[in-house]
Structure 1
Amino acid sequence: MNRQARAITGMLKSTPIGPLVHEAGLAPAEALLEAQQLKYTTRLLSLPENHPAKEILPVSFREGDQHTQPGEQTPGNRQWAERNNRGPWSLGQHLARQLANILPVDPSGGFESATQPTSSQSPGQIEVLPGPEALAAVQSLSPGLAIWSDGSRLENGRCGAGLAWQEPGSWKTRGFPLGKGYEVFDAELLGVVQALQLADKMGDQRPVTILLDSQAAIARLRHTQSGPGQALAIQAHAIAKRLHTQGRQPTIKWVPGHAGVEGNERADQAAKQAANKPPKSPREISLAFTCVTALY
């Protein structure tokens, strides 16, 4: 870094490293090291639960301490969270404390868990057409049950998912508050899961079409590999498989957002309203939110 800064600025060798790095517009070595450590921590959290490397992080950090019964934690396992404790730290305790210090939400609920990767593909059909074609397809949906889903994240960080569907003579909507510690990506996936559950509970024989405007969520639904959104993808696959065995072929379609499509607009409003409400129970911090927070 010393050589890089001098090459950029042309300053003398006697120039102190602090002003030199600042003048060159480079991040300090400590900041670069911290960024790499945060990236490493998120990678550890994204590993399957049975991966030995994941045990580097304290279990009270990975799984949360509010669900742990007295006596279940090993001595010193909570040291990373004690504000007045200055160490010394193990590597895992240091990484846990470092990430917890930058999170804008309470990590006591733990983090989204991952399981052993699978090669499972979506049992339903996934359709992503170019924008104009997708809009045209919406105007001529096949007969059956069409449910629009959407996710929203407010400026205060609260997230929510929303659904909209038509019944004879009226539109119906439903919202699902997530609270803080999530990204729109998570809300979009939750919307699909809830839409599939709704279709399953209706119990009729109509084919099911789920329409959403998030290509990132749709890409995640194509597989159940470990990483952000895995648990919701697994849930979606399980319900879609159940619908498929009932002869109700589920189809997931992408539709451009904010293009004046009534179903999409109603689902968006339902998601925003849900985001304004508190969640019914504490939830784990999502891996998507953790990765975004660590990156920025």
Structure 2
Amino acid sequence: MGEHCARVRKKTKPRIAQLRKMTGRSWGLREPQLRVVANGYIRGALEYAAAAWLPAASESYVELLEMEMRAAARVITGCPVSTPRDPLLAEAGLVPVRARRNLLAARLSCLAASQRSGDPLRAVAEATAPRRLRTTTGWRDTGARALVSAGVRDVPVEERLHVTIPPWIDDTRVQFRLDIGNHISRTAPPDVRQERAEEHLATLPDDAVWVWSDGSAEGGVSAGGIGALITLPSGEEHELRAPAGRICSSTRAELVAIRGALEMLLRLEGGLAESPVIVCADSQAALATLASGAGSQATALGAAVWRLLLALTDGGRRVFMQWIPAHCGIPGNERADVLAKEASSLSQDAVPTDVRSMVKAVGRSATKAWRRSWPDSFFKTIMGDRMPMPVLLESRDEAVNVHQLRAGHWSRSQSYLHRIGRRPERDCPQCSDLACPAARCLVCREGPDTPEHVLLRCPCLAGARLRLLGNIRPDPTQLRDGGAVAALSRGYLSHQQPLGYGRP
């Protein structure tokens, strides 16, 4: 294991060096681009096949990998080496390797559970192997613990897609319409959106079978429910309500609703072979997933929906998949929405969930546990247990100031520079005592110029805090706004310049 970790670090270090060439203290790529490079180029190399070996790595080896991630985080944020690890990673938008270890093990466990019976990976996952060492656990035990911590251990996993639909299948009888003609803003009044939608729906065939489907998920992640209303040309109506899974995204709930409605439609009798079908859904994401084509579906759910669509069009029938705006008073959509919300309270125990939803649930649980473990600090006073948003400033220098100030180690404060020996005094060349006169704020001389003093207490910025935050003694949580922190740091540095203290 030690040799493998050494090889991983050897592969990762040149990539971190390349990341350093993309940015500096006052120039370089913006933070979103740096985060993409770090997560894809650096973390991708570090976590290659890590689900198989990382759960068995000892804490000392995991710490070696954590060092590489912290090095990447320092490049993204511009924070100094002395920055505490948790604020550093959080400001960079990165998750510790320890939290990722649980996620990777859980993903491999879910992938194994999604295989067919008799698959080698599933057989390995279901086997019980004796431990060689008490302190060493493999991906099976680590994944099981992660699933238990996330509360999804007993959720059945949906079988993955093994056979895709051939790309040469003719799917042209299914038409997708992801708009209602004229562009309408989401902020438009409901009556305007309803009027435009009804005008567009009036252009569709009159003698059609109308299918209104909708999905519901609590918080967009759990307690899924589906509802559907089918109106036949004769005026006969059929309703459907069913659970969509204890762990379920909003898009998945919408796809499950479409699948359930199509299954119900195929079961109906009454000579509907000649009537076109119009399926109305208010999720552009779900319809866009299906619009990529029958042969492009990569999930079992998407392929199942397309097989139902192909069965409907087998006799030459046309099917229109129409997007409609949500919550604007369209009767069919409103009824489907009510049915979906009612269905979310039904029993979810027997409803399977896809691997992606399971992995996301474990990821949320692992990240939440890490955030709750943050030690008390100025950073935690600001953020609580929330991850900071990317600092989207044009000036790289100001973005670095924001990260350093919130993380608690500002490389332009006198207290920090004196502590590392960059601001020696005759009586005290270097010390870490905040009560030392050399650590005092150069502007007000009332205390050490720590980030907390600069942002919350320094009298020279009282007016700026009042204008930006509405109070000369604002709540620390208001410093989550990167623009406000940048403005305060800019004002503080401007006060230092007349005193002869420019950039160090």
Query: Above 0.5 in TM-score?
Result: yes
* Paired residues of 1:135 and 1:255 also in contact (CA < 8 A): no
Question: In structure 1, which of residues 243, 254, 273 is the aligned counterpart of residue 342 of structure 2?
Answer: 273
SS at match of 2:199: helix
What TM-score do the two structures reach when normalised by structure 1? 0.72
* Paired residues of 1:103 and 1:293 also in contact (CA < 8 A): yes
Equivalences, count: 265
* Paired residues of 1:116 and 1:226 also in contact (CA < 8 A): no
CA distance in 1, matches of 2:73, 2:255: 44
SS at match of 1:276: coil
| Deviation of 1:20 (Å) | 2.5
Question: In structure 2, which of residues 214, 218, 224 is the aligned counterpart of residue 159 of structure 1?
Answer: 224
Paired position in structure 2 for 1:142: 205
1:70-119 deviation digits (Å, cap 9, x = unpaired)? xxx53339x9xxxxx965323x3255235414423234623542325555
| Deviation of 1:272 (Å) | 0.6
More strand by share: 1
CA distance in 2, matches of 1:169, 1:8: 66
Structure 1, unmatched stretches of 5+, are 62-72, 80-84
Moved over 6 A (4+): none
* Paired residues of 1:150 and 1:268 also in contact (CA < 8 A): yes
Question: In structure 2, which of residues 256, 260, 266 is the aligned counterpart of residue 190 of structure 1?
Answer: 256
168-177 vs 147-156, which moves further: 168-177
Larger RCO: 1 or 2 (CA < 8 Å, sep 6+): 1
Which amino acid is 1:147 matched to? V
| Deviation of 1:136 (Å) | 2.9
CA distance in 1, matches of 2:224, 2:264: 20
Paired position in structure 2 for 1:65: none
1:128-185 deviation digits (Å, cap 9, x = unpaired)? 1255465532234312101000000135931111001335567542211134022222
1:117-128 pair list within 5 angstroms: 117-118=164-165, 120=167, 122=171, 124-128=174-178
CA distance in 1, matches of 2:88, 2:303: 48
Which amino acid is 1:141 matched to? L
CA distance in 2, matches of 1:46, 1:246: 37
SS at match of 1:180: strand
More helix by share: 2
285-294 vs 172-181, which moves further: 285-294
Paired position in structure 1 for 2:127: 74
Paired position in structure 1 for 2:313: 244
SS at match of 2:350: coil
CA distance in 2, matches of 1:184, 1:26: 27
CA distance in 2, matches of 1:145, 1:180: 31
CA distance in 2, matches of 1:164, 1:2: 55
* Paired residues of 1:126 and 1:251 also in contact (CA < 8 A): yes
Question: In structure 1, which of residues 86, 100, 109 is the aligned counterpart of residue 156 of structure 2?
Answer: 109
Paired position in structure 2 for 1:284: 352
Which amino acid is 1:142 matched to? P
Which amino acid is 1:74 matched to? A
Give the % identical residues: 19
Closer, same or farther: CA 97–86 of 1 in aligned 2, 3 Å: farther
* Paired residues of 2:229 and 2:240 also in contact (CA < 8 A): yes
Residue 201 in 1 paired to residue 267 in 2? yes
* Paired residues of 1:176 and 1:274 also in contact (CA < 8 A): yes
CA distance in 2, matches of 1:8, 1:190: 45
Structure 2, unmatched stretches of 5+, are 1-69, 185-195, 365-504
1:55-70 pair list within 5 angstroms: 59=123
Closer, same or farther: CA 259–290 of 1 in aligned 2, 3 Å: same
* Paired residues of 2:297 and 2:303 also in contact (CA < 8 A): no
CA distance in 1, matches of 2:124, 2:342: 33
SS at match of 2:84: helix
* Paired residues of 1:186 and 1:288 also in contact (CA < 8 A): no
Which amino acid is 1:193 matched to? R
